[in-house]
Structure 1
Amino acid sequence: MRRIWYFCFLLLAGCCPIVSLHAAQPVIIDTDIGSAVDDAFALGLALASPELEIRGITTCGAQAGDRAWLVCRFLTHLDRHSIPVAAGTDPQPDYPLDWQIQYRRHPAVVWNRTAKPLAAAAPDFIYQQLQADPGNVTLLCLGPLTNIAKLFQQHPDAIGMVKQVVLMGGALEIGYEGKGPATAEWNIHADIRSAQAVFTAGAPLLVAPLDASIGLQPTAAQREQLFAHCSPLTFQVQSLYELSDEPSPTLYDWLAVALAVDPRLAQLKPLHLVVTDKGVTQAKEGKANARVAEAADASRLLDWGLKRLLGYDKTRLPLPPENASSLIAAGPLPARVHTFEDYDTDIEKRWWMTGMLEIDKAPPGRGRAQRAVLTQDFDGKNGDLATSYRAVIFNPVPGPPMGPQTRLAFRYHLHGTDTLRVQLFSLSNGYHRYLAVSGLQQDAWATAAVDLTAMRKPNGEGGPLAENERIDDIQFYIDPRAELLIDDIVLYEAAAPDERRPFPDRILFTGGFDTGKQGAEWPGDFEIAAHASPRTWRYARSVDQNGQAVIRLNLRGQRAGAERLRLRFDYWASAAAKLDVSLHNQAEPAGYRAASITLPAQTWGVAYGDFAAESADDPATVDELLFRLPAGVELRLDNVLLYVPGK
């Protein structure tokens, strides 16, 4: 019997694709995409299988709404946005999305350039589809059975309308290490009550358990072959794969999709399955309630599926960028630092729009950097949205205004290309500009700076970056087949002509207060007020506290210190007075000697203060800057910069 089944599989999964003699099978896919990355591979396989007519996709798991948006973006990039998507309602199993949430936060989603999830909840949407075509729709379940249990509970007549429930779930004889004893498989264990409800409801079940799917692990060569195709479909799968940080995923859900395409792709056995209160799936005596995949040829099943993904659409690589520019010298100490990101803390992690943390290959003397991952161009108006790039993108919330000579400094490590595109989004004008530099060093860390006033729109229009223009999304793009690491991003204004102090080695904090709210983007004890002409934008103003005029600037988290730190700031005092400035760590004793500066009255000036670590061998971390004047004196601050001096 096994020889006959194996021969049939060879016929089905050989060099010839399966050609259905019947109309495509209507299916609704229920997925917890955004957690284990096998859902992304499975969704790609389902979309590439003409035997399946996908009537809709629903999402389960915590943050089901975010997962639905993730699916919408995936579908839109394949021009399959007509497939409706609905999110499951709470409560859902409580496990978070991993870093694949970054895929959902792309501007294509934020600015309504993708399909949108339906307002209807997943169970209601599924019920509507079943009512419209009773007895013909298969439910293909790739995650916990929460939505299906809710469907059967809220609409009991739906049980008789379902053609079958095909699901990845359960383990009968083995655990995740491929040997006994059986374990509580993830999809079942994540929502045991829902699994029990579905297994006892009476709907026909076709089950792909861990036992038959555990061997579905693509080799490195197979992944490379798939991702080298560089098509819209493989780009989406690869993007989620990279964000998942699962180097060698097992494609458990792949088998469930294959069974929905054709049950003959596995050896099936009728069994009576039950789910214990501990989430273990067991075969018991009694009337069979499920057909269960006992075995599948993993190698041939992977080849079969990979051929489908590779054959779905054509390679689509980006064209070389226009608007060639050149690197410039970073120059001395900037006149103003608008924003920075060194990736050494998680303080601004929520604004890492594209990229993955890199530790092993960080620059010498630095702790962390950012590795480029796949994404579509953030430019939805003039960018090529049919392809993907490898990119690092950082959002400098809250969108600072630029000066007349805006520059961008950064460290980079390139492999496989010598060309880098640098792009900004203009909040003021609502469009992107970019410049491209070529001939860059490869396979070693290097420093670079570019003149952002040389940026233009892709068609050459848009004019230079203007003074007081607010910007967003600092973007670095390369060819999707190459590699890029980025670190020490500094957006700044060019130094004054007479400036001789060197460019900072490292920045700990910059405060301009021009945009954003006190307490949110600018935590601490102070007020934000508008400058009087001729100065523009805003400044920080002292508050009375414990008999003193105080400005307390919270650095938004722990910042690594150094043997020597330098502080620069613009100031105004209502009366001549001695200003005490100190660095603090709210969780530890102060590790730096305080500085004192005498300020003149009622004139804006620039002051510098140096802080020496009390322990040069182990400089303390800091999280707060404290400025104090005598009571009755008003202090105003702007253009605050705390940094490690360059050499």
Structure 2
Amino acid sequence: MPQKIILDVDTGIDDSLALLYLLASPEAEIIGIAATAGNVPTAQVAINTAALLELTGAGGIEVAAGADEPLAVPLRTTEDTHGPQGLGYAELPVPTHPLSDRSAASMWVELARAQPGEVIGLCTGPLTNLALALRIEPELPRLLRRLVIMGGAFNHPGNTTPTNEWNIHVDPEAAKEVFDAFSAAPPDRRPLVCALDITETIEMRPEHLIALAEAAHSLPIERVDAGDQPEWRSAASNPVIRYLTDAVRFYFDFHHLYDLGYLAHMHDPFAAAVALDPALATTRPATVDVELAGTITRATTVADWAGMWGREPNADIVIGTDPAVFFERLVTRVGALARRLYPEPPS
């Protein structure tokens, strides 16, 4: 049976690949998508998400808008990382399907209550919506089958401050509420946390875009590189490959600008893959908390690996994986989805 997924996103280039990965996976059934303010504001996240769903013929999936601001601090967005609209250089038609009538927090609660023990929550953005949902329904840690979070940095530098990962940085109060609440989850339902320690080993390169185009039977096969001008756009015959090329190329450019190489860290699609198959990851239990008061360490995720706090573990942190296996799945699945959706080049 397909695994029922609530996806909570701040779409976002790598969020969009997570969405494509789930849509391309026969074992996944997305039952609702929550739009979270983060990479771009909530309204733009909802537009981006709905547009991608329509590109892939999945426009009937519910998209619910969440809060416009974090719980306690002003919203910070990151268009420099993801582009002015959040999708890099890519542009998609304005979606025609209406958004849900219910809020993202209400959607979380109502879907989990209706299918107790069956739903996997996957959060690839700030945790604002889930924190608000927990305020409505504190039993969510026991109602969900599992929660998977892309967020945090433990034995690894941050990507926003020296110690902060972006998703936690945007709304640290929400992250703390979530980790505190999930201390009540049974051991087999502890959140799986994909932090920078592992997601920054998931390095997408131009060769992966070539492999996706080949898998989709898209022409021409285009190789992007650091010398491409910002105004260059893909001429790929397959609209999904054209979208991916234009979106991911912006992400490559961003990483290259900061001397990380001409590559892109695929944080969110890796979390999606782990949500569907936890065997992709090696994990270690820990008690996770979020620093809120530190002058220079606010929003840092802290893991008590040794039980020094005397509190039971509330998370299983991913500490190992094989990136090659992940990318083989990404290319195979998303390439096949693109080929199935658009089997012939447009005339």
Against the structure 1 CA distance between its residues 121 and 215, is the aligned structure 2 distance closer, same or farther, given a 3 Å change threshold? same
Cross-structure match for 2:181:
201
Q: Hey, what does 1:88 align to over in structure 2?
A: 66
Query: Is 1:45 the counterpart of 2:21 in the alignment?
Result: yes
Match of 1:60 among 28, 36, 50: 36
Is the Cα–Cα contact under 8 Å of residues 109 and 136 in structure 2 kept in the other structure?
Answer: no
Q: Cα offset for 1:176?
A: 5.2
Distance 1:303 1:248 in 2: 17
5+ residue gaps, structure 1, are 1-22, 320-647
Q: Label 1:102 to 1:31 Cα distance change in 2 as closer, same or farther (>3 A).
A: closer
SS in 2 for 1:313: helix
Instruction: Identify the residue that residue 203 of structure 2 maps to in structure 1.
Output: 217
182-191 or 44-53, which moves further after superposition?
182-191
- The reply to whether residue 133 of structure 1 matches residue 119 of structure 2 is no
CA distance, structure 2, for counterparts of residue 227 and residue 100 of structure 1: 25
Partner of 1:388: none
Question: Partner of 1:576 in structure 2?
Answer: none
Deviations 1:297-336, CA, capped at 9 Å, x for gaps:
11222122211111223144221xxxxxxxxxxxxxxxxx
Question: 1:240–1:114: structure 2 CA closer, same or farther, 3 Å change rule?
Answer: farther
Alignment of 1:209-608 (within 5 A): 209-227=195-213, 229=216, 230=218, 231-242=238-249, 245-246=253-254, 248-277=263-292, 278-284=298-304, 285=307, 286-314=311-339, 315-319=343-347
TM-score (norm 1): 0.42
Q: Which structure has more helix as a fraction of its residues?
A: 2
Q: Superposition pairs for residues 93-108 of structure 1, below 5 Å? A: 93-95=75-77, 97=79, 98-99=82-83, 101=85, 108=93
Structure with a larger share of its residues in strand: 1
TM-score by length of 2: 0.76
Cα distance per residue 1:83-141 (max 9 Å; x no partner): 111111222332154535286997842xxx63221122110111121121122111100
How big is the alpha-carbon RMSD for the aligned residues of Structure 1 and Structure 2? 2.5
Higher relative contact order (CA closer than 8 Å, sequence separation 6+):
2
Q: Distance in 1 between matches of 2:77 and 2:281?
A: 31
Contact 2:286 2:315 in 1 (8 A): yes
Separation in structure 2 between the aligned mates of residue 199 and residue 265 of structure 1, nearest angstrom:
23
Q: Report the AA paired with residue 286 of structure 2.
A: L
1:132-178 CA distance string (max 9 Å, x none): 1122111100011111111111332334322221011111111258x
- In the TM superposition, what whole-angstrom CA distance separates every residue of 1:499-532 from its partner, at most 9, and x where no partner exists? xxxxxxxxxxxxxxxxxxxxxxxxxxxxxxxxxx
Question: Any idea what the Cα deviations from partners look like across 1:529-554, whole Å, max 9, x if unmatched?
Answer: xxxxxxxxxxxxxxxxxxxxxxxxxx
Q: Percent identity?
A: 29
Quote how far apart the aligned CAs of 1:282 are: 1.7
Secondary structure at the counterpart of residue 54 of structure 2: helix
For structure 2, the 5+ residue unaligned runs are: 219-237, 255-261, 293-297
Task: Answer whether contact 2:27 2:276 (CA < 8 A) is retained.
Answer: yes
- What amino acid is aligned across from residue 196 of structure 1 in structure 2? K
Aligned length: 289
Q: Secondary structure at the match of 2:346?
A: coil
Q: Which protein has the larger Cα radius of gyration, Structure 1 or Structure 2?
A: 1
Structure 2 distance, partners of 1:307, 1:49, is: 10
CA distance in 2 between counterparts of 1:301 and 1:267 reads 13
Instruction: Give the deviation of 1:232 after TM superposition.
Output: 4.1
Asked whether the equivalents of residues 40 and 240 of structure 1 are also in contact (C-alpha less than 8 Å), the reply is no
